[in-house]
Amino acid sequence: MASAKILSTKDIRGMRAVGRLAADTLCYVGESLTAGMTTDDINTLVHEYTLERKARPAPLNYKGFPKSVCTSVNHVVCHGIPGPQKLREGDIINVDVTSVLPARAGWFGDTSATFYIGKPSPLARHVVEVARKSLELGMAVVRPGARIGDIGYAIQTFAESKGCSVVRTYTGHGIHRVFHDNPSVPHYGRKGTGPLIRKGMCFTIEPMINLGHYAVDHLDDDWTVVTEDGSLSAQFEHTILVTHKGIEVLTRRDRPLQHSEDKPWTDLGELSCFIPPVASEE
């Protein structure tokens, strides 16, 4: 595999700005969610919010994707296309925001979360909270000298211990001026395998966790990915920068998400939560 890009100080400034924008957009979506709205309403919110900030929604026209954000409800794993579907009490929905800033030839920031519409069933809550923690545990092992396989190992061990499965077909990815670059970051795997992680690398971690089997299917629209067994699926995603001793979460939020249980995992610190003081430049 071709090696991953190492970002310069100037590159990192671009990634910080777009990461903040993508995170703000996701917070704004959480604050706007209500039962009865359509996934297309979410698309409109994201589209307008992004353009108002002189940025561009990366999904729009990406390999033919027709909308500005991915909305994946219940058994939809990822790449759900916004449309007339109304959100109902008890649904779970992943909203995956990718912004490009500046709009032309800019940097990409990619982040997603799964939200609750009304009160979730115990099983819905289980898969969502396992997915949330899977991302935290994956991020916690990233530092220079570790291997990409360490991330998948941490996630798979945890998710399977909770009776869930890890989707194989889609992975995290290098990200900078390119949406999907090396390295590919599987959310399953073996410790000590895969590419070496180096300071200055930027990539996403975005585990898709299923309540049932990990196998997926595609709908006729050529985009929507669903669980083969119809079980619920949840996902969280951050864009991270590898620093000298760990990571900076470029898509960290300045406030907790609404309609999701966005709180620090006390055992892991404040990795993705409401506002870590900005990690030091070094």
Residues forming the site for ligand MF3 (CB under 6 A): 59, 62-63, 65, 70, 79, 96, 98, 110, 206, 237
Window 221-260: residues binding Co ion (CB under 5 A)? 237
- Where do we find the tokens 């898709």? 208
**71: nearest Cα among 56, 62, 84, 53:** 84
To ligand MF3, the closest distance from the beta carbon of 110 in angstroms equals: 5
How far is Cα 249 from Cα 19, in angstroms, rounded to an integer? 8
17 binding partner (options ligand MF3, Co ion, none; Cβ < 5 to 8 Å by kind): none
Contact pattern from residue 121 through residue 150 relative to Co ion, giving x for each residue in contact according to CB under 5 A and a dash for the rest: ------------------------------
How far apart are the C-alpha atoms of 92 and 125, rounded to whole Å? 9
Q: Which is nearer to ligand MF3, 179 or 199 (CB)?
A: 179
59 binds, among ligand MF3, Co ion, none (CB under 5 to 8 A by kind): ligand MF3
19: closest CA among 112, 150, 111? 111
CB proximity list for 102: less than 8 A, separation 6 or greater: 54, 55
Nearest CB to Co ion, comparing residues 35 and 238:
238
Tell me: does residue 204 bind Co ion (CB under 5 A).
yes
User: Could you give the angle at the alpha carbon of 179 between the alpha carbons of 272 and 70, nearest 5°?
Assistant: 70
Binding mask 45-84 for Co ion (x = CB under 5 A): ----------------------------------------
Q: Is 110 in the site for Co ion (CB under 5 A)?
A: yes
Angle, vertex CA 112, rays to CA 30 and CA 211, nearest 5: 100
- Taking the least distance from each CB to Co ion, the nearer of 22 and 164 is 22
